[in-house]
Amino acid sequence: MRRSFIGLAIIAVAAFVASCSTDQTITGPEFGPTPSSLSLTKIGAFSGGGSAAAEITAYDPASKRLFIVNGALGSVDVVSLSNPATPTLISTISVAQFGAGANSVAVHNGLVGIAIQATNKTDPGKVAFYRATDLQLLSSVTVGALPDMITFTPSGRYALVANEAEPSDNYVTDPEGSISIIDVANTAAPSVRTAGFASFNGQTAQLRTAGVRIYGPNATVAQDLEPEFITVSDDSRTAYVTLQENNALAVVDINAAAVTSVTPFGYKNHSVAGNGMDVSDRDGPTGGAMVNIRNWPVFGMYQPDGIASYTVAGQTYLVTANEGDAREWGTFVEESRVSALTLNPAVFTDAACGGGPCNANARLGRLTVTKELGRNAVTGQYDALYALGGRSISIWTAAGQQVWDSGDQFEQRTTALTNVNFNASNSGNTLDDRSDNKGPEPEGVALARFGSKTFAFICLERVGGIMVYDITLPTSPSFVTYVSSRVGSGGDLGPEGIIVISAANSPTGVPLLVVGNEVSGTTAIFQIVLQ
């Protein structure tokens, strides 16, 4: 979803800014022994002052400063992490002179980049660069509409910006999505090139046939594609960009500043064993809530938000957090409850839905799906249903071929938590509340390498907490642990930004995980305990 920015990849000696939204990839040599496992222990916290006061985070090792996007104020809080147990506010960077507010922040070698949307979100945005040590403004540049995420290449030569370019609220104005490539070799006078999608405007039919969702009213391909997150290959030559609403991946040649391909992610089959989901908040014996994870005749659009990358045996692999997102602008609303749709009775039989009508509230009736896919234009009936998001993480080749998906593991592992109800939202603690709409909503992913092992940290936006997987072998990851600092409807709510800080860059000499929680406005600091 917008304002969620990080999907990252970091290697052990790296300080990484991931969000349950921006991607920052900093490479380095392997550091320390290979652990058999790891655990997370919360050791500190910082309160930004209420809801939306903590979103995307970035860390500067030299100054031991944490930069936190404060969405409530549209600014960036600068916090000392010298003592992670007691983070303290040093200063605040106001970007009011550049636009409506900060959306994302990234740091590389003491250079802080802040992505700022215009007062009118459909106008071009800005990126401002500051020095981490004294917060001096060095320069600013103009980028595309709604710059939603910023990251640096591993080399530090370029800052890349995902310009989401959402339409106006009434859908009258729809700017083109793009990726800005900013050369920061001269920080006093950066230069900007734009990788756009205009060259794909004549390929609408082919893209739709392939599975790329091009569906905005009267939109060209370039207008319809909305870049969300970026990850960069280790050699700093290629960027991989999620197009969330479009359920697709864009590949960018950084040196040429050109989009070389747009590839669909495809669909998840929830009728396959291991791909179950709870689809209703009213499936209990008396119409109330209950945990009911099972297979259904439904497809899921992966629609990833965060994305990260890593290299195994010379091959680049992509890790996506399959959140899901829909469009609702003016009179255009793509979401619908299944109960409001006319289903093909030959497909959606009682047997397919557990012995009763598929459109009943206790079955698929409450599930939120898109109206833009699956409808037979001749009969007016829906021959297939497509839910938003995959409720999972996936691993893909650089060409977009899936090699692994976590299936229904996130829901299965959160069915009986002691601190929060199953599929609760991030603003309450009602059992089953989000089962009918994207479930736990994995939003961002950060990668860290310790020794010869690579671990993925995934934030769950709704039920909260961080899932950790060992993804050393891309085709067979294994669950490591799950931790949540939420307590009912209190504590850390709505994880939005993640940072992994390596032991080499940590102020304590021990690797840390930093999580910005949007709903509670709190930033949590965890110690990564290697075992």
Q: What is the pLDDT of residues 114-148, one digit of tens each?
A: 999 999 999 999 999 999 999 999 999 999 999 99
Question: How far apart are alpha carbons 4 and 20 in whole angstroms?
Answer: 6
Residue 97 CB burial class (10 angstroms; 0-12, 13-18, ≥19): exposed
CA dihedral 110, 115, 116, 117 (to 10 degrees): 180
CB 163 within 8 A of CB 225: no
Residue 92 pLDDT class (50, 70, 90 cuts): very high
Q: In this model, does residue 4 exceed pLDDT 80?
A: no
Residue 82 pLDDT class (50, 70, 90 cuts): very high
Question: How far apart are alpha carbons 66 and 7 in whole angstroms?
Answer: 18
pLDDT at 33: 85
For 401, list phi and psi in degrees, rounded to 5: -90, 125
Q: In this model, does residue 3 exceed pLDDT 70?
A: no
Q: What is the mean pLDDT of residues 268-277?
A: 98
The chain-wide mean pLDDT, for the chain, equals: 94
Q: Is 417 left (phi over 0), alpha (psi -120 to 50) or beta?
A: beta
Domain layout of the chain by residue ranges: 7-266+302-325+389-530
Residue 2 pLDDT class (50, 70, 90 cuts): very low
Q: In this model, does residue 13 exceed pLDDT 80?
A: no
Q: What is the pTM of this model?
A: 0.95
For 224, list phi and psi in degrees, rounded to 5: -80, -30
Q: In this model, does residue 364 exceed pLDDT 50?
A: yes
DSSP H helical ranges for 156-298: 204-210, 221-224
Q: What is the pLDDT of residues 156-175, one digit of tens each?
A: 999 999 999 999 999 999 99
Please, what is the Cα angle at 248 between 244 and 252, to 5 degrees? 100
pLDDT at 28: 40
pLDDT at 20: 54
Give the largest CA-CA distance in the chain: 67
Q: What is the pLDDT of residues 451-503, one digit of tens each?
A: 999 999 999 999 999 999 999 999 999 999 999 999 999 999 999 988 899 99
CB 101 within 8 A of CB 87: no
pLDDT at 24: 36
Q: In this model, does residue 528 exceed pLDDT 70?
A: yes
Closest CA to 521 of 150, 132, 89, 106: 89
pLDDT at 499: 86
pLDDT at 484: 98
Superfamily of domain 7-266+302-325+389-530: YVTN repeat-like/Quinoprotein amine dehydrogenase (2.130.10.10)
How are the residues of the chain apportioned to helix, strand and coil, as percentages rounded to the nearest 5?
Answer: 5, 40, 55
Q: In this model, does residue 22 exceed pLDDT 80?
A: no
For 338, list phi and psi in degrees, rounded to 5: -60, -35
Q: What tokens were used for 212?
A: 């790329």
pLDDT at 468: 98
Question: How far apart are alpha carbons 317 and 234 in whole angstroms?
Answer: 11
More confident residue, 285 or 10: 285
pLDDT at 272: 98
Q: 2-11, 242-251, 500-509 — which is least confidently predicted?
A: 2-11
pLDDT at 21: 43
Q: In this model, does residue 27 exceed pLDDT 70?
A: no
Residue 25 pLDDT class (50, 70, 90 cuts): very low
Q: In this model, does residue 14 exceed pLDDT 70?
A: no
Q: What is the pLDDT of residues 237-252, one digit of tens each?
A: 999 999 999 999 999 9
Q: What is the pLDDT of residues 410-436, one digit of tens each?
A: 999 999 999 999 999 999 999 999 999
Q: In this model, does residue 223 exceed pLDDT 50?
A: yes
Q: In this model, does residue 365 exceed pLDDT 90?
A: yes
pLDDT at 376: 98
